[in-house]
């Protein structure tokens, strides 16, 4: 894999709260990552202005708001995400078939032909969860089984791909095919700590397993030199 290909695979999780930080990170990492993820913290603090600032700096955006609500509410929220011109957005597969299918139908109807609609991802089992977490909410399946079950449900509802741990990429590919997107947080390079992530792999392992994109936040943001940390991750992927 070339450096350019490796860079394109990295989505930086811009988990910050100040509007002034958005331009700083977008400019600092523009040559080192392929996309920027706006999640609940930044969007709650700064709203669509954060997305627009990243776009103004030339960056692509994954709007990670993990919608989970009644079908109509999620479909309308996803439509607004699409209207922001983001490349990726997401919803919870646990919201069920009807919620996911209504969202995809609504997006397809409103984005037929003219402009590209964002790819929609379904969250399977959060990478901070393990079997114990699932048991705590009344789910007795092993994590990989639950992930594959939700990935198949998402695919049947017309969703473009899933968010899962790199540990499950192989099983998802077997069940859903090679064209189904698999985006993986829970990525930890050799120099970083796991933090609250429970199902982790290194960047090289994640790419080898077949992840389309790796979401990485704190290992880059908390490093002494974030740009160097991102470069090291690219090195790890290229070498792997």
The binding site for substrate comprises 15, 37, 64-73, 127, 188, 197, 217-218
Least distance (Å) from ligand LLZGTKA7 to the CB of residue 126? 4
| Radius of gyration from C-alpha coordinates of the chain | 17
Note the residues at the interface with ligand LLZGTKA7 (CB under 6 A): 13, 15, 39, 123, 126-127, 163, 185-186, 195, 197, 215-219
Helix axes 19-28, 48-56, angle to 10 degrees: 30
Residue among 34 and 186 whose Cβ is closer to ligand LLZGTKA7: 186
Tell me which of 17, 56, 66, 102 is the catalytic residue: 66
Comparison of 127 and 211: residue with beta carbon closer to ligand LLZGTKA7 = 127
Shortest approach of ligand LLZGTKA7 to residue 161 CB, angstroms? 13
Are 184 and 165 in contact, with CB atoms under 8 Å apart?
yes
What is the nearest approach in angstroms of ligand LLZGTKA7 to the Cβ of residue 37?
6
Residue 66 annotated in active site: yes
Catalytic residues: 66
């Amino acid at each position: 894999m070339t450096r350019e290909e490796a860079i394109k695979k990295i989505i930086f999780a811009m988990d910050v709260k100040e509007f002034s930080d958005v331009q700083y990170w977008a400019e600092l990492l523009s040559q080192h990552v392929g996309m920027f993820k706006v999640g609940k913290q930044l969007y709650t603090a700064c709203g669509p202005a954060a997305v627009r600032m990243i776009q103004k700096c030339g960056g692509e955006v994954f709007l990670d708001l993990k919608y989970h609500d009644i079908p109509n509410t999620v479909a309308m929220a996803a439509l607004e995400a699409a209207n922001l011109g983001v490349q990726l957005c997401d919803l919870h597969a646990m919201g069920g078939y009807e919620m996911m299918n209504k969202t995809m139908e609504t997006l397809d109807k409103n984005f037929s032909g003219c402009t590209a609609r964002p790819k929609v991802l379904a969250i399977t089992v959060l990478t901070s969860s393990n079997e114990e977490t699932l048991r705590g909410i009344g789910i007795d399946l092993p994590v990989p089984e639950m992930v594959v079950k939700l990935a198949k449900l998402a695919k049947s509802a017309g969703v473009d791909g899933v968010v899962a741990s790199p540990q499950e990429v192989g099983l998802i590919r077997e069940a859903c095919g090679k064209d189904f997107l698999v985006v993986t947080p829970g990525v930890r390079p050799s120099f970083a700590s796991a933090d609250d992530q429970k199902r982790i792999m290194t960047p090289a392992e994640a790419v080898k397993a077949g992840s389309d994109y790796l979401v990485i936040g704190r290992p880059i943001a908390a490093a002494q030199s974030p740009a160097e940390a991102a470069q090291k991750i690219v090195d790890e992927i290229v070498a792997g």
